[in-house]
Amino acid sequence: MVPASVGRGAMLGAAVLSLLTVPARAATFEADAHAAAALPAPDVTGLDSVLHSVVDQGAPGALARVDDGDDSYLVTRGFVDRSTRQVISTADRFRIGSVTKSFSAVVLLQLADEHKLDLDAPVNRYLPGLLPDDRITVRHVLSHRSGLYDYSNDMFASSVSGFEAVRNKVFGYRDLIALSLSKPRTNAPGAAYSYSNTNYVVAGLLIEKLTGKPVRDAYEKRLITPLGLRDTFYVHPDTRIPGRHAHGYLTPDAAGAELVDATDQTASWAQSAGALISSARDLNTFYSALLRGRLLSAARLAEMERFTRVDGTTSYGLGLRRRDLSCGVSVYGHTGAVQGFYTYAFASKDGSRSLTAAANTSNNAKVLGTLAGALESAFCGEGAGKGTTGRAARVPAAGERDSRQ
């Protein structure tokens, strides 16, 4: 039995619950206060219910943090480490998977603001001969409309053996692009949306070409240091997560098989498409700053928010997702999946309220679907999404793997 904290003593079996309200940063703009007032208060009990379900469905632990004006709401359930049964905390660092794509897109859009990049120019203008079609533009890459095949589909056709084959492997960008180009393209450039990690490997190569330095340098100098993101790291090809962190557990394809501790890995198969490490606080800070206009010019942010409809609840811009919730509110951010971790990181249109929810498992469609319910509780308030938790999530179809998120 593990003690719980709800402002009073409680016992909650194998789960841990922490519901706290703590001081947070003050609103930067007066307009944010008016926008925040238009949203109902976060449903903290609803958040806890979502995380409780996530743990019941197989995640060792789950966390959620909502930053809303002067308040932060912290909710946790379960364990950060199955072996030690240490309780999970919203301060724990974790692998954020494809949430990395927003960071990569912002760097390239900043370079566009600096007139070092034309979004509608062919990728081959900057990286001659890289791609087989001069019609593929930078914008196509950032919006997943290039038609470049996602190499990770084949890499992780079997979840555990595929992962173990690359756990300690170090790829070059061009190695991964070559894997993609060995397969037919999914569509003509610009013809359709087709999510592909290959696009953001190309993005990383563009960043390094245009800056003349490793992508880590761009993340640190342009985003991590200016925003004070003390928990955000690009350690590739190191396999370790620095400091206090969650252990991530990969769910095998075989029902009932033991979870695989996937915490230590190079994440080299993902790199600029999904290898960043961060925390709930840092991700909320990042998306709040982005949507408040602190990272890009108004014109570039507007381009980032030019969305293509993906399904009934989701649209995609340039490294940014929009999710439409049951209460009519739309939120902006990204989902992430990498072996051992699922992440939802989203903020309101004006950045005044932000949520990061994460679970330390992957390859579990029920957990992925249920975790999406945290958005409803965080942005729609009490009673929102009752009985629909998970329906709004993009659950992987047959043959899709965590890398697709």
Q: Which residues are catalytic?
A: 98
Q: How many CB atoms lie within 10 A of CB 127?
A: 18
Cβ(99)–Cβ(405) under 8 Å?
no
Bridge-based pairing of strands 277-278 and 341-348 is: unpaired
271 CB-near residues (< 8 Å, 6+ apart):
171, 173, 176, 201, 204, 215, 236
Rounded to the nearest 5°, which phi and psi values hold at 103? Answer: -65, -45
Tally the residues of the chain: 405
- Amino acid identity of residue 398, one-letter, is A
Nearest by Cα to 17 from 84, 79, 96: 79
172 CB-near residues (< 8 Å, 6+ apart):
none
Terminal CA-to-CA distance of the chain, rounded, Å? 34
**Would you report the helix, strand and coil content of the chain in percent, each value rounded to 5?**
35, 20, 45
Q: Crossing angle, helix 197-211 and helix 173-181, to 10 degrees?
A: 140
